[in-house]
Amino acid sequence: MIDFAINLSEAEKTVIKGDVNQTFKTLLNSSFKKFLISPKYKIIIVILVILLPLAFTGGLVGTTITYSLGNVSKFAKLIALISLIISVFFWILFLLLVLLQRKFYKKVLSSLAQHYLKYLQMITTNHLRRITFTNITNDFSLVPEKFIVSGSSFNRRVWTEKVIIGKFNEQDFNIGTKIEEITKSTGKNTVKIYNRYLYFTCSINDNDFSTTIVPETLMTKFKDIFNKKKIELESQEFEKMFALDYHDPLALRKLLSPKVMNKMINLGKTNTVLPNIFINKKQITICFVYHNIGHDTKPIATLLNLIINNKQDQQVTNVINMLKYTINLYLTCHDWIAALDLWQEI
């Protein structure tokens, strides 16, 4: 990802700080609500997750043994039963607190997200006038081409996280993420693997070809060995960096001129993560794949998934960092499209 090319002015930072502080003042207006999103709360939840099953199992076993013994007093049986009831009560209380915390956390995120679009519009108006961010939704208005994952098998689930919709010179674009959850069986146990797909998809000037450009890997090299139709390009350095899938060699050569390949090579050298690119006549999709991120809430390549805490100054920093990430992502994808001569330079 490229460095953030825009320095926010003090006036812009003041707007963000004022909104964040007002959000916290409105939503975190009690000690209990502040406690819900505090690190201490998370530590308590972890402790309860460890202790409650032990307490419940002990209470259940103790009650069962007590009631199975014929010579135990009624008082002892009553105590055993009360201990089990108390254990069940704390389990219910624990589940309610977890649900309450998640609901409240989402409420804080939703409130901040309402301001987030305003921040993006403010930044682009002041610094990148030809870009307009128009909406934040839960789905794509432009369906990503080629690389979109689907829950086609019974052990796979896919859902969209968040999508930002915008325009560049009246051409529509979407930035969004999808999560893929795969359930795998390992003997008697099952494990879940999460993959995140970060998409930038947009309309481009009408072309008469489709092609896929992906990072070169051992798998693509092995595939090329059996590809008798593979054409030789004018840059071996480009071919070492990227693998191609195409149907029209002439259209491909027209797209990948020496000038374009040189731009792509330079971008490839300055970006640590290379994208998958699919061009399909009037649309291009750029996809960054993050395999096995650990969990669906893991903050790897997330979009609008802010980390919430009680420290307002830190929260302002978190919001600004997420704004930087979003703008960086847009500028990076724009650079790849511009390198292909499919968009104008900013």
DSSP codes, 13-70? HHHHHHHHHHHHHHH--SHHHHHHTSHHHHHHHHHHHHHHHHHHHHHHHHHHHHHH-T
Spans of all domains in the chain: 27-106, 128-339
Helices (H), the chain: 10-27, 31-36, 39-68, 74-127, 218-225, 236-241, 249-255, 258-270, 312-339
pLDDT per residue over 289-329, tens digit each?
998 888 887 888 888 776 676 677 888 888 888 888 888 88
pLDDT per residue over 126-170, tens digit each?
888 888 899 988 899 999 988 777 655 667 888 998 899 999 887
* Whole-number Å distance between alpha carbons of 325 and 313: 19
User: Is the distance from CB of 37 to CB of 108 less than 8 angstroms?
Assistant: yes
Q: What is the pTM of this model?
A: 0.77
* Whole-number Å distance between alpha carbons of 75 and 308: 49
- Closest residue by Cα to residue 255 from 273, 275, 238, 237: 238
- Closest residue by Cα to residue 98 from 55, 37, 26, 57: 37
pLDDT per residue over 7-55, tens digit each?
788 999 999 899 888 888 888 788 878 777 777 777 877 777 777 776 6
* Whole-number Å distance between alpha carbons of 76 and 151: 54
